[in-house]
Amino acid sequence: MPENTDLPGLGQRLRQAREDAGLSQAQAAKLLGLHRPAISEIETEGRKVSAGELKNFASLYHVSTAWLLGEPVQSNEQLKMAARNLESLKAKDLETVMRVIDSFRRE
């Protein structure tokens, strides 16, 4: 990964991820050890982001650095639907499903 990233869209993705995480610029800045104006400058792409900062943003916002950089990230709607359905299963049924999934992975 390059030391500095200055890619179009990075600032917008950082802002979206911050908002999705339910954080204000001030909250994010405090958690990242930055000043609030730095977050604003980064989100408006007026300041470069180091590789280390990028990793810290990704960790705080619970997103991948690949997503932040605009790289293709596989998103499968069927997997999302399956996850929602699994949440409604009883514990015993969930254990059965997990054993079936495990058997497929071994093949």
pTM over 0.85: no
User: How far is residue 80's CA from residue 86's CA, in Å, rounded to a whole number?
Assistant: 10
68 φ/ψ angles, rounded to the nearest 5 degrees = -60, -35
Token digits for 22? 């339910």
Q: What is the pLDDT of residue 7?
A: 46
State pLDDT tens for residues 81-105.
778 888 888 999 989 988 888 887 7
